[in-house]
Structure 1
């Protein structure tokens, strides 16, 4: 199973989990929250968004931005590892393409040879899924924090109510587009792999399907996170490109 296939399955699981959640009937979250989930995930996120909004003129939309940046900084080591893994996979694409062509009539042999290439280069093709695994409980906790915090749920930011779906579907579309751009930046050599090309399209569609059914605040968090990752990826890839480029005069 490829890394992107696993990502699609995890996102599908996220849709099922969120669709099964019904925090509207749960009590509002507060400092007296009990239980590991409420006390250590939902309430801290609710508190962080509210305190950030307080410092930014009462805007919960900006409070979500601050919370997103802080969360992304916490998982930054995992994201850096994911980007390095993606970069290594790109470097191996010519060799993997040769294997696919050589053993196109023998999928089992092609898989064996591919695994040998991964082992030889110390690459784990599923390593890039770890950030998504970590962010899944954060997304679900975010959902609960939004719905169970009246101040956030009823707040209006730009054209939308944060606790309601985007009435114009603008944020879901932006979330899908930025997801596509993010995936494209992290897999620029996928044009030779039809399966990867399909996943490149399916991932944004999955995000769109999620975003149109959930509160705008969650879509806002997703857009902020995607933009953060796009900027982060640009600088990390640019720096790695400088490292790989031969120094001037080295070949003379």
Structure 2
């Protein structure tokens, strides 16, 4: 039963991380009916302060349309309503234009335009906004009033920038900003401002802060594994009587000071850190986010950060092959280590193994399936997140070695006393 629970823990953690990131990454545009115009410019009706503003553009024509990048100037034209009048606002991006590309939209398809790099400068104040797309028509248009129309403008719906809610404030003040500032500070004092080394150091700090609850969790999991023969004996003894099985199981856990729920806690404690690391690496390194830095760090130039780790791994980009294989391999080794029993235990429990054959097969399947799931996840996020996961898993492997040795020693002492 407990092995089944440990498998479920891995699955639940993976799903929570994956679904959470998928939810927050999704632009969340609200669909409207096609206006009949050549282009629809659609913006979500409400954003909170510091929430990334994105614009959906739908091409209703029969030809490809290219929206040229004006970087370092913001994409599209932005207006803010001030005292009942629309006023154009502008911003110049300090860096990141080397990654900027023109956007080509095929007939009857959509594209998302992001304000990453300009977001706080343009939408850092509450109020009402709209954006305007200006393009050149593929075929020159003439009217009696104007001999030739060179550009056509398409205006979006109005949208509101609202104050940050309590959850957003708690997330930003409690997790994102501290991790963001810690990472930038470590990067600023490392020679060469190496982001990769900073991620490694920050990961070790985070895992060390979580050392006590994590250590208790691993010991609890290991003890439950050691108690598996006794749990199987209880199930066999009271077969069909769920009440007695539950009662004696609880007594067994109490006797050996095992809390089955404690093994879940550190896994979920790490989730906010993982998600915060993701957002820091994804968008936190552009100068538009300098307002989130504490005091003296505001003078540090974010453009000086070296994101090319060891000259082979670009931490802001997705690595599809090598890093996922490394992370998946480390995850496989950690799971193998966590489910490994001592040789003597296996020999003494030969008969019990036959009874739990189905569970053993399920465990073996998960040892292979879970690393694949983690590898797929790593292949879909910036490499910096994968580096964090790899270092965190390596730390977990070292911790698992120590826990396995401790629990085995404690079990040996208990057997000697009983003799």
Shorter chain as denominator, the TM-score bin is 0.7 to 0.9
What are the Cα deviations for residues 7-56 of structure 1, in whole angstroms up to 9, with x where unaligned? 3023112111112223675647xxx9982222221121122112212232
Are the counterparts in 1 of residues 11 and 370 from structure 2 also a CA contact under 8 Å?
A: yes
Q: 1:47 to 1:99 in 2, by over 3 A?
A: same
CA–CA distance in structure 1, aligned partners of residues 309 and 172 of structure 2: 25
User: Per-residue deviation at 1:213?
Assistant: 0.4
For residue 177 of structure 1, the aligned residue among 319, 323, 329 is 329
Tell me, yes or no, if the aligned pair for 1:154 and 1:163 is still in contact at 8 Å: no
Partner of 2:264, secondary structure, is helix
Which residue among 198, 203, 209 is the counterpart of 2:376?
A: 209
CA 1:161/1:112 → structure 2, altered by over 3 Å: closer, same or farther?
farther
CA RMSD of aligned residues (A): 3.3
User: Partner of 1:62 in structure 2?
Assistant: 197
Aligned pair partner of 2:179 in 33, 42, 45:
45
8 A Cα contact 2:176 2:276, kept in partner: yes
8 Å contact kept, 1:211–1:219: yes
Distance 1:25 1:110 in 2: 57
Whose strand proportion is higher, 1 or 2?
Answer: 2
Instruction: Name 2:22's counterpart in structure 1.
Output: 19
Instruction: Tell me the CA shift for residue 163 of structure 1.
Output: 1.2
Q: Which has more radius of gyration?
A: 2
Deviations 1:183-204 (A, max 9, x none): 2222214985333333222321
Distance 2:10 2:208 in 1: 21
Q: Residues 161-200 of structure 1: matches in 2 within 5 Å? A: 161-167=314-320, 169-189=321-341, 192=356, 193=359, 194-200=361-367
Aligned 8 A contact 2:327 2:390 in 1: yes
**Pair 199,112 (structure 1): closer, same or farther in 2 beyond 3 Å:** farther
Q: 1:133 aligns with which of 268, 272, 278?
A: 268
Alignment of 1:105-116 (within 5 A): 109=241, 113=245, 116=248
Q: TM-score, normalised by structure 2?
A: 0.51
Answer yes or no: is 1:239 the counterpart of 2:406.
yes
**Which protein has the bigger helix share?**
1
User: Which sections of structure 2, spanning at least 5 residues, go unmatched?
Assistant: 26-51, 53-113, 125-163, 286-301, 347-352
Cα deviation digits, residues 38-86 of structure 1 (max 9, x gap): 2221121122112212232111101001110111011111111111111
* Runs of at least 5 residues in structure 1 that lack an aligned partner in the other structure: none
